[in-house]
Amino acid sequence: MFAAKKKPAKPATPTEMKAVAIDEFGGLEVLKSRVLPVPQPSHEEVLVRVAAAGINPVDWKTRSGAGMAERIKALPFVLGWDIAGTVEQQGRRVTMFEPGDRVMGMVNFPAAGGGYAEFVVAPDTHLVKVPDSLSLRDAAAVPLAALTAWQALFDTARIGAGDRVLIHAAAGGVGHFAVQLAKQKGAYVIGTASARNHEFARSLGCDEVYSYGGDEPWTRIDDVKTVIDTVGGETRAQSLKVLARGGLLVTLQTGDSKAGLNSPTRVKQILVKPNQHQLEQIAAMLCDGSLRVQAMAVNGLRNVTEAHSLSESRHVRGKIVVTVP
Ligand SMILES: NC(=O)c1ccc[n+]([C@@H]2O[C@H](COP(=O)([O-])OP(=O)(O)OC[C@H]3O[C@@H](n4cnc5c(N)ncnc54)[C@H](OP(=O)(O)O)[C@@H]3O)[C@@H](O)[C@H]2O)c1
């Protein structure tokens, strides 16, 4: 008779964790390493052990007092909406996940995210399982940017096969997903990017790519059914001139110039929302290879300032993630 082999006991969840918090809005210097209590999940929430946190422009905009700052109820708080990691504990009413599951999500958006930490608590509806073929590092780069691209193209613009779609910043976080999703739908995709990213943009599916900053796009592009405006200002104003009759410009810029915002039939401004069903479809596409993510990693929460600084340069190809801790 052999005694049944005992499963190794799961190490107890610590009571404290490393995190990067901000006590006041401002420059890179306000990102401070802290030791904080590990948050407790409510009945509908999941405690995730974070492996990587994705960086988005909204992170540094909020850090500086713009972005979602007005929605943050209290300082200090922990930034970070995009995360991937493993389930540590789940609330009593959570049935979709169990400890050890690999998950990703855009968590708690637009309230304080909490992702720049070793642990984060999130509603179960903000999370999905990560396909085995995807690393947690790459998974952390997906949720906010891919959901934004999905919601802009499919929910708002309702693009279809053959539509001419102009995607600004085609090599960026949102853009690199938007190009692939639009192409999958059968659209004719026109992108803008700097010269060093033209080849990358074509590899994602752009049929035409133009450098921005000069007159070229505006003399060559016309009759566009949908514009995904990731830039705002002058780019939005010029884009309105190449929009076809009945076309729609979807802008992601919520805080800049008001160009075109008084024409609600031609311009719609959106703010991304968590959506589990859409994120599951995105995960399935990443699993079957019909969607890919381009991500570079900055190692360690202590280097989150470097990640913010890179993102603020506005020339990242794809996404940046920070590995945790
Ligand atoms: N409303 C929402 O829900 C929502 C959601 C997500 C993002 N956003 C906003 O949308 C914007 C884009 O987000 P993201 O994550 O894609 O940013 P990102 O990854 O930081 O964008 C970087 C890319 O922007 C390109 N770029 C910079 N200036 C440009 C210009 N004038 N014209 C065309 N491309 C330009 C760069 O291209 P090169 O390197 O080739 O020069 C780079 O590839 C941000 O302002 C973000 O806050 C809003």
Domain boundaries, the chain: 16-142+293-323, 145-269
**Closest ligand 1 atom to Cα of 176:** 16
Phi, psi of 182 (to 5 degrees): -65, -40
Q: Is 25's pLDDT higher than 60? A: yes
Stretch 138-143: mean pLDDT, rounded? 98
State the average pLDDT for the chain: 95
Stretch 104-119: mean pLDDT, rounded? 97
CB contact at 8 A, 238 and 232: no
Q: Is 55's pLDDT higher than 90? A: yes
CB contact at 8 A, 48 and 120: yes
Q: 255-260: long-range contacts at Cβ-Cβ below 8 A with a sequence spacing of 24 or more?
A: 255/61, 255/66, 255/67, 256/232, 257/232, 257/233, 259/232, 259/233, 259/234, 260/236
Distance (Å) from CA 311 to ligand 1 centroid: 9
Stretch 261-283: mean pLDDT, rounded? 93
Please tell me the distance from the alpha carbon of residue 244 to that of residue 226, in angstroms, as a whole number.
8
Distance (Å) from CA 230 to ligand 1 centroid: 5
Residue reference for tokens 């995807």: 134
- The pLDDT confidence band at residue 5, using thresholds 50, 70 and 90, is low
Please tell me the distance from the alpha carbon of residue 287 to that of residue 301, in angstroms, as a whole number.
28
pLDDT at 214: 87
Stretch 60-82: mean pLDDT, rounded? 95
Q: Ligand 1 pocket, 270 CB below 6 A?
A: yes
Q: Ligand 1 pocket, 94 CB below 6 A?
A: no
**Closest ligand 1 atom to Cα of 269:** 1
Phi, psi of 87 (to 5 degrees): -70, 130
Stretch 47-72: mean pLDDT, rounded? 97
pLDDT at 4: 57
Q: Ligand 1 pocket, 89 CB below 6 A?
A: no
- The share of the chain scoring above pLDDT 90, in percent, equals 89
What's at 319, amino acid-wise?
K
Stretch 249-268: mean pLDDT, rounded? 81
Distance (Å) from CA 249 to ligand 1 centroid: 16
> Do β-strands 164-167 and 188-192 pair in parallel, antiparallel, or remain unpaired?
parallel
Q: Ligand 1 pocket, 194 CB below 6 A?
A: yes
Residue nearest to atom 46 of ligand 1 (CA): 57
Q: Ligand 1 pocket, 165 CB below 6 A?
A: no
Distance (Å) from CA 35 to ligand 1 centroid: 33
Q: 153, 234, 252, 309: which to mutate for ligand 1, most atoms within 8 A of CB?
A: 252
Q: 147, 150, 257, 314: which to mutate for ligand 1, most atoms within 8 A of CB?
A: 314
The string over 80-98, giving b where at least 16 C-beta atoms fall within 10 Å of a residue's C-beta and e elsewhere, is bbbbbbbbbbbbeebeebe
pLDDT at 257: 65
Q: Ligand 1 pocket, 58 CB below 6 A?
A: yes
Distance (Å) from CA 169 to ligand 1 centroid: 5
**Closest ligand 1 atom to Cα of 252:** 1
Token digits for 166? 């102009």
pLDDT at 10: 74
Q: Look at residues 129, 123, 142 and name the one whose alpha carbon lies nearest to residue 47.
A: 123
Token digits for 260? 């075109």
**For the structural domain made of 145-269, what CATH number should be given?**
3.40.50.720
Q: Look at residues 177, 182, 206 and name the one whose alpha carbon lies nearest to residue 193.
A: 206
CA distance readout (Å), 135 to 129, 167, 321: 12, 27, 12
pLDDT at 161: 98
Q: What's the pLDDT tens digit per position in 278-300? A: 999 999 999 999 999 999 999 99
Distance (Å) from CA 118 to ligand 1 centroid: 28
Please tell me the distance from the alpha carbon of residue 262 to that of residue 280, in angstroms, as a whole number.
35
CB contact at 8 A, 217 and 170: no
Please tell me the distance from the alpha carbon of residue 297 to that of residue 310, in angstroms, as a whole number.
11
**Closest ligand 1 atom to Cα of 194:** 40
Query: Under CATH, to which class is 16-142+293-323 assigned?
Result: alpha beta
CA 44 to chain centre: 23
- The pLDDT confidence band at residue 256, using thresholds 50, 70 and 90, is low
Q: Ligand 1 pocket, 142 CB below 6 A?
A: no
Q: Is 223's pLDDT higher than 80? A: yes
Stated length of the chain: 325
Q: Is 132's pLDDT higher than 80? A: yes
Question: Is there a shared CATH topology between the 16-142+293-323 domain and the 145-269 domain?
Answer: no
